[in-house]
Structure 1
Amino acid sequence: MSAPVAPGGGLLVVGDVVTDVVARHTEPLAPDTDTAARIALRPGGAGANVACWAASRGAAVRLLARVGADSADWHRAELRSAGVEPVLRIDPELPTAMVIALVDAAAERTLVTDSGASLRLGPADWAEELLDGAGHVHLSGYLFFSAPGRELAAVVAGSARARGLPVSVDPASAGFIRQLGVARFLDAVAGTDLLLPNAAEAALLSGRSEPALAAAELSARCGGEVVVTLGAGGALAAARGRLAARVPAVAAGAVDTTGAGDAFTGGLLAARLSGADLPSALAAGCRTGAAAVAVVGGRPR
């Protein structure tokens, strides 16, 4: 097993680029009539968000994703402006993935997702030279919810390990994990060096509701480190079946929690690539997550 993150080198993210429609409403959604909201169009996607937040924290980042021709130029420009090297494969038929994020008065969001072109990101989109200069590879969990994505994840993970590079996975969606099946998902991510679920995903994957126990269970099963984000409770990490670190959250004035977990991951990975130890990296992730909830959308502004 390689180190959870190897200090030095850049970050390769393989995942999704999404067009986010963020609707912030202060009143409960009213059936059969209008609900007033402030609506914004933002670039998003779990993989792309991680890449942008990591770049904002000083990491050199490359992103592989698949988009539609409808918005490829816009997304490429947004990624470059965030300091990310975009490697975008253009789907000839499907549009870019789109998410409607309904954000309530407490800044909590509900997501409605059309995965679009991202569902067809697969082995044909891979090139070994994408690993050149990388010190760590991060796989968005959304890869694992399509057959081509699972095949690609296996290819990328195998290539990374052949070069001695560690691999991390963000499980991404408890709802999609349920549809795929917990056992299938765990089999697909077996051997991952760093697993990054939120509390709900950790509970689903481990069968344990208490986050520290869930993290310990998953770390024993997967063989690597497991970091669980706890929202206002901060974050904790387990390794080899035992709790290894825990840090508090950073206070923030939340306006939109969209992408907070992605920001945490980007901040943590950037810190580890710079040589930070695990508790320091957890703290860096919490600081980055706090910055994320203070802006609308899932990217740094």
Structure 2
Amino acid sequence: MTDMSKRDAVVSVGRIYCDLVFSGLPDMPRMGREVFARSMDPVLGGGAFIAAAHLERLGRRCALLASFGTDPLSSALAPQLETSGVDLRFLDRRADAGPQVTVVMTGEADRAFLSCRAGDAVPSRFETALQWDRAAMLHIAEYATLAEQPDLVARAKSAGLVVSLDPSWDDSLIYDPNLLAACKGVDVFLPNAEEARAITGASDLEDALDSLAAHFPLVVIKCGGTGAMLAASGQRHSAKAPKVKVVDTTGAGDAFNAGFLDRYLAGHPLPDCLAAGIATGSLSVQTTGGVPAPARNGRSIAV
């Protein structure tokens, strides 16, 4: 029998992307015109990996449940997995899993993403990951993963795990009228402001928060540079973000998730969790790419 007192780790599930981050754009590209970026950096991304890397930096053990390609681009970026500190025991290396590429375009006031997916969102080691004796939470980094495996939440709950979900923007899914029903059982719902409005149809964020609070025990809406707000059991809290020099906003929401969930699992009051999420997200935007510097001596567990 699993000793519940030893459960303190997160399993983060989702796709790993090979992000090509174009920074310092004077304007977003338009059809028929060419725009030159100040720099381009190839980095690993995807909400599952970014959140996992930040959790590890914060001292919270996190295992990445994902598939990763063996193609040249994936292989070239693979060392970033090894130096992230993330636990890789549940990682699949498969030829059909990549490359999953996102072109990230960031300017002073805007950003845009162009992505191409490959393979399945949920790798073969899913059941093994749920039975990991240290697992306390399953973090689902994008709704697309749940859409591909609808029983994901139910199986995690049966294994005794708390479940968090970041819907993540997907034009083909974000307006799905069945999204909220498909997320039944999720304990912590973590949309950003644009996603919250799209899912609820509410233009006012307070209304969106109230609407989502009717479906989930804890809802946290990330509002970018202005801060974040949450609702839980009749409580309402909000906090402002500090002014920082923004280099790249890629993965800031996933970094916020890590900061928030780390404190949440430790049993801290919700306002403290909110502050921790904002602090981690604010730190993330000051560097290129969503992943922090190598965590705790670059520790990782290879497959």
Q: Is the 8 A contact 2:142 2:168 kept in 1?
A: yes
Q: CA RMSD in A?
A: 2.3
User: Does structure 1 residue 228 correspond to structure 2 residue 227?
Assistant: no
Alignment of 1:155-194 (within 5 A): 155=152, 157-178=153-174, 181-194=175-188
**Amino acid paired to 2:201:** G
User: Does structure 1 residue 103 correspond to structure 2 residue 95?
Assistant: no
Alignment of 1:265-284 (within 5 A): 265-284=257-276
Deviations 1:25-48 (A, max 9, x none): 432236545422111101111111
User: Does structure 1 residue 212 correspond to structure 2 residue 213?
Assistant: no
Per residue, is there more helix in 1 or in 2? 1
Q: Which residue is 2:149 aligned to?
A: 150
Provide the secondary structure at the position in 1 that maps to 2:66: strand
- Equivalent pairs, count: 284
So what's the TM-score if we normalise by structure 1?
Answer: 0.86
**Amino acid paired to 2:208:** A
**Amino acid paired to 1:96:** P
Q: Is the 8 A contact 2:156 2:162 kept in 1?
A: yes
The Cα of 1:7 is off from its aligned counterpart by 10
The Cα of 1:162 is off from its aligned counterpart by 2.0
- Give the distance between the partners of 1:55 and 1:78, measured in 2 at CA: 14
Name the CA shift for 1:243/1:277 in 2 (closer, same or farther; >3 Å). Answer: closer
Residue ranges of structure 2 left out of the alignment (5+ in a row): 294-303
Deviations 1:243-268 (A, max 9, x none): 52111112210011111101100111
The Cα of 1:109 is off from its aligned counterpart by 1.4
- Give the distance between the partners of 1:115 and 1:40, measured in 2 at CA: 20
Alignment of 1:191-202 (within 5 A): 191-202=185-196
Q: Is the 8 A contact 2:189 2:216 kept in 1?
A: no
Q: Which residue is 2:299 aligned to?
A: none
Q: Is the 8 A contact 1:144 1:185 kept in 2?
A: no
The Cα of 1:114 is off from its aligned counterpart by 0.4
Q: Which residue is 1:3 aligned to?
A: none
Name the CA shift for 1:177/1:223 in 2 (closer, same or farther; >3 Å). Answer: same
Name the CA shift for 1:30/1:214 in 2 (closer, same or farther; >3 Å). Answer: closer
- Give the distance between the partners of 1:97 and 1:112, measured in 2 at CA: 11
The Cα of 1:75 is off from its aligned counterpart by 5.1
Deviations 1:263-299 (A, max 9, x none): 1001111122223211101100000110111011111
**Amino acid paired to 2:185:** G
The Cα of 1:68 is off from its aligned counterpart by 1.3
Provide the secondary structure at the position in 2 that maps to 1:175: coil
Q: Is the 8 A contact 1:234 1:249 kept in 2?
A: yes
Q: Which residue is 2:237 aligned to?
A: 245
- Give the distance between the partners of 2:56 and 2:205, measured in 1 at CA: 29
- % same residue: 29
Correspondent of 1:89 among 83, 87, 92: 92
**Amino acid paired to 2:105:** L
Q: Is the 8 A contact 1:13 1:63 kept in 2?
A: yes
Q: Which residue is 2:61 aligned to?
A: 60
Q: Is the 8 A contact 2:196 2:205 kept in 1?
A: yes
- Give the distance between the partners of 1:175 and 1:110, measured in 2 at CA: 13
Name the CA shift for 1:123/1:116 in 2 (closer, same or farther; >3 Å). Answer: closer
